[in-house]
Chain A
Amino acid sequence: MSAAGGPAVNPMQILALGLIGGLILLYLPVLVPLGPMLGPLLFALGAVVAIIWGADAIARVASYGLGTGVPSIGYMSLAIGVIGGIAGLAGALMFGSMSAWLGPIMGVVLAMIVGAVVALMGTQVLKMKIPILVRCTIELSGAAALSVLGFSAAIAGSLSMAAILSSVVATGFIALLFILNTMAIQHPFNACLGPQENRVRTLKLAGATAFMAMAIVGLLSLGISKAWWLVAIVGAVAWFYFIRAFIQASAKEAASVKWSGWWPEEDET
């Protein structure tokens, strides 16, 4: 789907960045004692890479035209991500508190399973004709779960169910993260779709929405986490970098239209 001029983005690289990079960033503060400052920062960055992965997955599946708009699959995947993420964190404790470290992986896997079932319902029962629906919904659900877990841990300061329950779920921030991450994942493609969509430019916007969400998460953790200002400032600075890159890319591609006229009318999605 990459348009003329822009280099293609390899979905496997983005998947590796989001899934493996996200899990490493989530687990690093658990395995290595990094202190109360660096831990939340890494958790939040884990969520950011997961959001970029999700934005790429949604761009691939929604370019087929779902008939329901881009946001709906974003909301659905975040719903699955929240359900899977919390159930994974809680479910890992059924083997005793020693197995709590399994939580995040279990959350991502559970979300992917539910995502696979929902997508299979779409292709097998509802006869939707989108060849990559199953794969992309699985990826999206995993990315959604990782992003929710990452931001939740950034607020709570730890990945334990008890900490997230008292400082993210009971405070109601979980509902905010639900909508915030949905917006961060679905907005980039929703804003950039069309015949001249350039995936690199879409992902620049994804970086901007992800870091903007991170900056807000930093503000939310004010009073809960000591690292709130660090998360907020790193998020805001990185947001500025990405939104600047996105605006420059948009201006550059608009210039080609300005010089050579409008593109021929074809494949309107």
Chain B
Amino acid sequence: MDPLFLILAVTAGGIAIGGGVHFIPVGGAPAAIATATGVGTGTAMLAAGGGMTGLITAAAATSSPNLLLIMLAGAAGSALMLGITMLVGNWVYVWGVACVPSSAKVDVDPITKYEQSKYVTPGTEGHGIPTVCFVSGIIGGLLGGAGGGLIYYALYNSLATLPVYAALPGASISIFAATVAGIFALGVFFVNAVIASYNIGGTIEGFHDPKFKRLPRGILACLIASLVTGIVGYLLVLGGAF
């Protein structure tokens, strides 16, 4: 496979992951004690959950030659994992902490048009995951998972053509190529998730958050970092294993 395709795929995938993280309602430590809107953990944990699930579902579609199907599989896995995380988190906020999911960044939820400011406890920056954050998080999961799937597809198909990485007799896919591509895509996932996290300063509510305007800068940083990672990744194809 063309080396340029691999490098461009890693770059594009990295941008999709980095951009996707800007959509995810990352609440960090304040959200963990229900004093800020979002999921109560950091980006790295959400990247671990969403990214790994997305890569597992993308890898499940490995035998398909269709790039779109692998990207869709990754997107579905990541979005599903993030959706479940946000939903169960909301159960804890609503029935455990007893607070109303509400955002302090907007007066009216842009999707449901529900009033927000009345329900925000004084002294906090909102709590739980209101509808707009949930929808935003799903978009982020879809983007991130598709990006991870793209990277996985590109590296798997580049490696699988090498004789060293050929599929074992009786197997339709190469386990070596699949695992190397999987761990590489996971690495790119984490790198871009943390770069995006640096850009948003740790916490963001979603696309309605004023911090979302920083997206172009985050995209630029992810583009350059992923480009370099893609070039390093090409060494995997160049060197082989023996």
Contact = CB atoms under 8 A, between A and B. Distances in A.
Interface of A: 66-69, 71-76, 78-80, 82-84, 86-94, 97, 110, 113-114, 117-118, 121-122, 125-126, 128, 161-162, 165-166, 169-170, 172, 174-175, 178-179
B176 A165 contact: yes
A170 B179 CA distance: 6
A18 B144 CA distance: 35
Interface stretch (B77-85, B123-131, B192-200): B192-200
A217 B231 CA distance: 31
A178 B224 CA distance: 24
Main secondary structure of the interface of A (DSSP, over half): helix
B117 interface: no
A126 B217 CA distance: 7
B88 interface: no
A84 B186 CA distance: 13
Contacts, number: 151
A117 B228 contact: yes
Interface of B: 28-29, 42-45, 47-48, 164, 175-176, 179-180, 182-184, 186-191, 194-195, 197-199, 201-202, 217-218, 220-221, 224-225, 228-229, 232-233, 235-236, 238-242
Given A68-B198, A125-B224, A83 B188 contact: yes
A91 B176 contact: no
**What are the nearest 6 A-B pairs in CB distance?**
A91-B235, A90-B239, A79-B190, A79-B187, A76-B194, A121-B221
A264 to B, nearest CB: 24
Contact of A79 (B191, B202, B235, B242): B191
B161 to A, nearest CB: 15
Given A73-B194, A114-B228, A80 B179 contact: no
B42 A79 contact: no
A118 B29 CA distance: 24
A174 B179 contact: yes
Given A91-B235, A97-B242, A114-B229, A71 B42 contact: yes
Contact of B201 (A67, A73, A78, A97): A67
Contact of B236 (A67, A91, A172): A91
Nearest to B184: A83
A212 B28 CA distance: 28
